[in-house]
Structure 1
Amino acid sequence: MSTEELWALHEEIASRLADALLAEKRVLEDRLRQLKGGVEERVISPTGRRPYPAVVPKFRNPDRPSETWAGRGKTPRWLAAKLKSGKQIDDFRIRHVA
């Protein structure tokens, strides 16, 4: 085979491979679309964290009622100081009316 014939053969093979790849890609994308159709997509918040329900405060500072604590995380300074002075944590518990 001459160089021109080999080059023509090369171009034909490359063209057929490209067509085969595109056809396979279309088949796979259709399958993926069908699979996604039955599954709800997750909603991701802008921060990247999953949404958590609102946490109701459980403890309130009697000196400054706007200061509350839900009982999660580090104990606030106002509560730590009151506990050191001998008070009990239940003294600061918010009584919820049901």
Structure 2
Amino acid sequence: MSAKKLELELMSLDDLWSLHEEISGILSARIKAEKQELEKRLAVLGGGMAAFADPSTGPAISPTGKPRRKYPRVLPKYRNPQTSETWSGRGKRPRWLVAAMKSGRKIEEFRLGDANSKVRQRA
């Protein structure tokens, strides 16, 4: 055993607790100082946290500083007949559709009739 570990084992519970509180205080102060230093560096590099908009205050700001444009709502094009889950056809395919396609079904079997007519009307 090292000498320091032996010293700690011989200390009373009160002394150990006092040492623990002293160490916790020092750690807290150092963490606070480090956080302030990092915030200063961040402010110098990118204008601080002002670059990130709060979603409740309005449109989100992109990293380039321009507000993000609003995208139109996309209607669902596919429906899971068992659970009535829907998918718009954008993004990653949902698990239920991937599983159904692996079992030999075709994607057109899940297509909603309404989606086809609306797409044709727009075109």
Q: TM-score, normalised by structure 2?
A: 0.40
CA distance in structure 2 between the partners assigned to 1:47 and 1:86 by the alignment: 42
Question: Structure 1: where are the runs of 5+ without partners?
Answer: 1-44
Q: Is 1:81 aligned to residue 104 of structure 2?
A: no
1:56 to 75, 83, 103: 75
CA distance in structure 1 between the partners assigned to 2:109 and 2:59 by the alignment: 39
Aligned length: 53
Q: What SS does structure 2 have at the residue aligned with 1:82?
A: helix
Greater Rg over alpha carbons, structure: 1
Alignment of 1:15-34 (within 5 A): none
Shift of 1:47: 2.0
CA distance in structure 1 between the partners assigned to 2:78 and 2:93 by the alignment: 11
Residue identity matched to 1:71: G
CA distance in structure 2 between the partners assigned to 1:53 and 1:46 by the alignment: 14
2:60 to 37, 47, 62: 47
**Identical counterparts, % of pairs:** 55
1:93 corresponds to: 111
Q: TM-score, normalised by structure 1?
A: 0.50
Question: Structure 2: where are the runs of 5+ without partners?
Answer: 1-57, 62-67, 119-123
Of Structure 1 and Structure 2, which has the larger fraction of its residues in helix?
A: 2
Q: What SS does structure 1 have at the residue aligned with 2:73?
A: coil
Q: Which has the higher contact order (CA 8 A, sep 6+)?
A: 1
